[in-house]
Amino acid sequence: MLATSVAISALFSTALPVQNVSAEGSSAELISVGRWVSGSGLGGAEISAYDAKTKRIFVTNGATNQIDIVNIKDPKKPVLFGRINLAKKGVTGIQSVATKDGLVAIATQVSADKAAPGKIFLADVNGKLSPMAPNGIVVGSLPDSVHFSPNGQYIVSADEAEPTSYCLTNGVLPTTTDPNGSVSIIDLAAPKLKAVTVDFSSFNDRKNALIYAGARVFGPNATVAQDLEPEYITISNDSEYAYVTLQENNAIATVDLTTKQVVAINGLGFKNYASVGLDASDKDSAVKIAPAAVYGMYEPDAIAQITRGENTYLFTANEGDAREYACLMGGTSTTTLEAEDVRFGKNSSSSVDATLKTDAVAGRLKVTPFTPASVAGSPVTGATTVSSAYSFGARSFSVWQASSSEGVFPLKQVYDSGSSIEQYLSTARAATFNADWNTTTGLINAVDARSASKGPEPEGLAIGRAYGRSWMVLGLERDGGIMLYDVTVPTFPIFKSYINTSNPAGNLLQSTKKTAAAGDVSPEGILIVSEKDSPTGKAMIIVSYELSGTVGIYQFSK
């Protein structure tokens, strides 16, 4: 058990190895070889899974609440094989999909009430529901991602359990309003399939310890178990542990799959931009990446792992996420949404340096009033001011060394990409730097539009083996591109290639069954297919793009 006393300085990352992004000397590139167009537009493709034997991908189509089964034997000409429609089973939303040895697992919402339990459905590669669980397997609320363990024994889901609001009922926040976040474990070796759903109730009396360790527990009147929101999962090579990102909570949980217990919650601390820099303003009329006395909360979405000897390294895409619910900021209306992200210049205290608060520096930066100091102090309201800027996400990916110790403590960071992603895009994508797409007009927004709010927003991430080396692919949700790194040495990732197949001149909303006018926009789910499993004999990357409703297929060129 690790000692509970921790130096506060350990929570702030300032002097870590930072990769200077450069593709010079690169021996690997990504080349676009094909595209599946769902034709459903927004939400038409979010997460994909791949079956090597049939050469099919299984794509969550959030627009139709179905799984599209697509044959990619010829990646240049993907063909729809069929669909899995679970509407008759009461499914109201499809969240995620995974495959292993011919079995397809589908994470679903089965009620209009997202606080209600969800279900995992099982199907074969032809889309036929498995007789092992014809009506699905009940799991925790809002299963957001689903994964098979490497040995194929377990299916594990991260049950996000978002609140419907923070409004009180008879003076308390009931679990019917904010359910407990959980991780559900299905043992496929059991004679009868059912999920063991594990929540975080055993940590309810450790709120202060979690905050002290660099995590966030801040939902008004919520218990620790209610406040923690599992997002994404990676599973150790030996199939013994699941590592779960708790995105809004700036933490990672470790779950023992054998004992089916949460054994640790690790805070991730905060990134200090005073040493690495960021572009914090959308009103400075220029790309300006510079150090500033502000912080970033890592708040990772996707996570993946590599084991080297006795060390397991966790890679995280540090997207960031803010909460927006009724009664979050001290209001009492059950219908008025209250957003956590506020402008630093308008919500900073009088003690803050005047220059830092200007629009050209960090005044426009979106920050949280639920800072580490205020969480333990007075209740946060819409009038709360802050003395330090804690922004959402870290505009980077990080590598953390997993620990075998149980309990609550900070996780050791061994690498962070610093400001290198923004630095690279400021040159490679100068005309569309930190610009995202407008889902109302279908057009791309102006340059710098996202600089005050999470920048390029790394969200998706995958690690795989190909050509005798380990590779990581990072998806940039707002920028639209993907970045390839050689991570054979996990503590020193090497940037190799960047590709962006969006069309800034196209309209996002003009998507048909044959054409995606804006190309591929907003990468979400990412898969790496080894040369052995690829239909072409060359390693491939498969990327699901949420806003364009497309799946991009890329090939390594060596």
Give per-residue pLDDT as tens, 356-411: 999 999 999 999 999 875 545 568 988 899 999 999 999 999 999 999 899 999 99
Q: Name, in order, each residue with C-beta under 8 angstroms of 30's C-beta and a sequence gap of 6 or more.
A: 482, 484, 497, 498, 499, 541, 554, 555, 556, 557
Residue in the structure block whose two tokens are 């080894």? 530
Residues 195-210 pLDDT 10s: 999 999 999 999 999 9
User: Is 281:294 a contact under the CB 8 Å cutoff?
Assistant: no
State whether residue 432 is helix, strand or coil.
Answer: helix
- Report the share of the chain in percent with pLDDT over 90: 89
Q: How far is CA 515 from the centre of its chain?
A: 28
Residue 501 and residue 36 in contact, taking contact as beta carbons nearer than 8 Å: no
Q: The dihedral of CA 429, 432, 437, 442: what is its sign?
A: negative
Question: Tell me: the pLDDT tens digits for 434-468?
Answer: 999 999 999 999 999 999 999 999 999 999 999 99
Give domain status of residue 387, yes or no.
no
pLDDT in tens, 176-188: 999 999 999 999 9
Residue 20 has pLDDT above 50, yes or no: no
Evaluate whether residue 381 is within a structural domain.
Answer: no
Structural domain includes residue 11 = no
Q: Is residue 159 part of a domain?
A: yes
For residue 224, is it within any domain?
yes
Given pLDDT bands bounded at 50, 70 and 90, which one contains residue 13? low
The answer, yes or no, to whether residue 315 has pLDDT greater than 50, is yes
Contact 110, 142 (CB under 8 A): no
Res 19 pLDDT > 80 = no
This prediction has a pTM of 0.95
Residue with the larger pLDDT of the pair 9 and 309: 309
pLDDT at 511: 80
Which structure tokens are listed for 139? Answer: 């799991």
Over the stretch 140-176, which tens digit does the pLDDT of each residue have?
Answer: 999 999 999 999 999 999 999 999 999 999 999 999 9
Q: Is residue 230 part of a domain?
A: yes
Q: Would you say residue 337 has pLDDT above 80?
A: yes
Cα(287)–Cα(280) distance, integer angstroms: 10
How far is it, in rounded angstroms, from Cα 441 to Cα 402?
Answer: 44
For the stretch 22-69, pLDDT in tens is: 343 345 789 999 999 999 999 999 999 999 999 999 999 999 999 999
Structural domain boundaries enclosing 287: 18-321+393-557
pLDDT tens profile 188-244: 999 999 999 999 999 999 999 999 999 999 999 999 999 999 999 999 999 999 999
pLDDT at 377: 54
- How many structural domains are present in the chain? 1
**Considering the domain boundaries, does residue 40 fall inside one?**
yes
Q: What is the pLDDT of residues 265-309, one digit of tens each?
A: 999 999 999 999 999 999 887 899 999 999 999 999 999 999 999
Q: Judge whether 6 lies within some domain.
A: no
Q: Reading across the β-sheet that carries 56-61, which strands appear in turn?
A: 48-51, 56-61, 66-71, 79-85
Q: Return the higher-pLDDT residue of 2 and 348.
A: 348
Q: What is the CATH number of the domain that holds 508?
A: 2.130.10.10
**Averaged pLDDT score across all residues of the chain:** 93
Which helix (H) or strand (E) is 66 found in, with range? strand 66-71
